[in-house]
Amino acid sequence: MRRRWPATGRVSSYDVDMTKKRSNFINAADISDAVYLGKAYTIVASMWESGPRGGYVRYSSEHIPTSFFCDPQSTLSGVPGSEAGRNPLPDTADVEEALHRWGVREGRPVVVYDQGPGLFAGRAWWVLRWAGLPDVRILNGGLAEWDRLEYPIIGGPGNIAFGGDQEATFGSMPTASIDDVRNFDGILVDTRQPNRFAGRREGLDLKAGHIPGAVNVPMEDLVDKRRVVLSPEAIRERFARVGVTSAEDVIVYSGSGLHSSYVIAAMEYAGMGVPAHFVEGWSLWAADPANPVERGD
């Protein structure tokens, strides 16, 4: 039987003060308490599914109470193309409109989640930080973890927001262009699955392999089986295995800025700093026949 409000009376970090200890990740139990207690924050459901209005159909059938819908394709990404990649940076006007639609207020934390894998929540986290929001958090395990713990889920079109006043400051996260990558002498970190990195499998982009000289730290290595982020110590240890101890002189990429967004959140959470993000990633690099490709582990 699904749990009812409230929780069992335990005190969570939200009960004290959500802004005292900031982290890029937050657990479902803390969000559950916060929803019941009416804490001042904004929850955004970044949901994508194939088919017409697929993400919204999923959201309208089940979402966390008080959360607002975010369409990753129209809000978190620009128009794809061979000169832009599959998921280029979004149009700033689209992001500003979304902030207003969600009622995001200055000084109010934002929590983002997806169905569970973390890819679209990670993208939402990075785009909102890029837009200048200082306190954005990813719900560990997403809706799947919320459901596993039997917290309330509702359907319907969602809430109507009032009073959004958050001003966007775009460019607040470091990015790298394809020319920056071509001329880079630091460490490139590819966050895709090992099979895609090695060039053994590629179902999304024009060529298989990776950018020459890159090292592989798959996003999946930084989460547990429930898609909950690992401890800061475990994250630092995983990066140390490829010679990365901080975000300095590091560019992170993935296929098109999904896996890499989550990994950047994990790096900052682990105290490593914020690396530059080659947002367009392998999808843009592979689209140019002149770009060299490396294969193998």
For the chain, domain boundaries: 25-149, 175-287
Helix or strand (DSSP H, E) at 266:
helix 259-269
Fold entry, domain 175-287: Oxidized Rhodanese; domain 1 (3.40.250)
Tell me the pTM: 0.91
At 258-293, the pLDDT tens digits run: 999 999 999 999 999 999 999 999 999 999 999 999
Beta strands in the chain (DSSP E): 25-26, 42-46, 68-70, 110-113, 136-139, 187-190, 215-216, 250-253, 276-277
Distance CA 4, CA 15 (A): 18
Residue 83 identity (one-letter amino acid): E
CATH architecture of 25-149: 3-Layer(aba) Sandwich (3.40)
Q: Check residue 164 and give its pLDDT.
A: 85
At 123-146, the pLDDT tens digits run: 999 999 999 999 999 999 999 999
pLDDT band at 39 (very low <50, low <70, confident <90, very high): confident
The closest of 256, 248, 234 to 186, measured between CA atoms, is 248
pLDDT band at 3 (very low <50, low <70, confident <90, very high): low
For residue 191, give Cα distances in angstroms to 102, 203, 211, 260, 265. Answer: 30, 16, 12, 6, 12
CB 202 within 8 A of CB 114: no
